[in-house]
């Protein structure tokens, strides 16, 4: 059979011997491949020849777009107001919560997932760097506001992230008019900024229990080699004075 095949090849290519025949046979094979794939040169031909049939390489542009799609969730106050207005027009409930979210941990993830379950759209107010520094002191935040906003936006439970410079999110709450205002259970019910404004619009305030042993402070202490304090039931916190 091999001899018969060689005879057919020689009938097409003419009698050849040694290296000449081998080179002509390779060129014939390449010509057949280009007849199927179209003329290619250099790297393009090499890439097409190595790609298995039916498998199409993903364009780099598409990969980059997919990797940064969550950044669209980071909004200005004006953009977030429009988003909430449209949601209410469609009969959806807007949920709002806020925080510094300096080092995201499982307690944050569960808290935000629980908050999202209370409505149809979760907006997170994120303290800007200057705000965190005033509230937490020198050395904080550990991550700048752009990084913290992106990590939050990457969570499936979060629909929008809005930065605010003030010490409290009162301006955001008044502007967005959420149906549900969420805070951790470590905040006293009478100390939650925006509770009165949300209640006046017929909304409600929900306090969510936190995950024991999960906190940014404990993570910082552990990273610094310090022994974290034993977990005790925290006293209800109060919001800082309004500015």
SS3 171: helix
Full 3-state SS string of 97-140: EEECCCCCCHHHHHHHHHHHCCCCEEEEEEECHHHHHHHHCCCC
Give the active site residue among 8, 159, 167, 186: 8
Radius of gyration of the chain (CA): 31
Closest CA to 121 of 71, 67, 77, 81: 81
Whether 167 is a known active-site residue: answer: no
CA-CA distance, 96 to 169, in Å (whole number)? 10
Class of residue 137 by CB neighbours under 10 A (exposed 0-12, middle 13-18, buried 19+): exposed
Q: What is the side-by-side strand order in the sheet with 180-184? A: 74-75, 160-164, 121-127, 94-99, 180-184, 204-208
Per-position b or e across 151-172, b if 16+ CB within 10 A of its CB: bbbebebbbbbbbbebbbbbeb
Q: Which residues are known catalytic residues?
A: 8
């Amino acid at each position: 059979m091999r001899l018969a095949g060689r005879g057919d090849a020689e009938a097409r290519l003419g009698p050849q011997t040694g290296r000449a025949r081998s080179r002509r046979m390779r060129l014939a094979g390449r010509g057949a491949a280009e007849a199927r794939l179209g003329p290619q040169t250099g790297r393009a031909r090499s890439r097409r020849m190595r790609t298995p049939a039916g498998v199409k390489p993903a364009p780099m542009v598409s990969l980059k777009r997919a990797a940064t799609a969550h950044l669209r969730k980071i909004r200005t106050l004006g953009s977030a107001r429009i988003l909430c207005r449209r949601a209410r027009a469609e009969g959806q409930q807007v949920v709002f919560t806020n925080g510094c979210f300096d080092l995201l941990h499982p307690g944050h993830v569960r808290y935000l997932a629980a908050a999202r379950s209370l409505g149809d759209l979760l907006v997170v107010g994120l303290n800007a760097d200057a705000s965190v520094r005033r509230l937490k002191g020198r050395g904080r935040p550990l991550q700048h506001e752009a990084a913290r906003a992106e990590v939050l936006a990457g969570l499936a439970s979060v629909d929008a992230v809005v930065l605010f410079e003030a010490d409290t999110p009162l301006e955001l709450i008044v502007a967005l008019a959420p149906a549900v205002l969420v805070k951790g259970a470590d905040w006293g019910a009478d100390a939650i900024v925006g509770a009165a404004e949300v209640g006046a619009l017929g909304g409600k305030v929900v306090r969510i229990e936190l995950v024991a042993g999960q906190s940014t402070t404990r993570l910082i202490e552990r990273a610094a080699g310090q022994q974290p304090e034993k977990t005790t039931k925290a006293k209800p916190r109060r919001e800082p004075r309004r500015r």
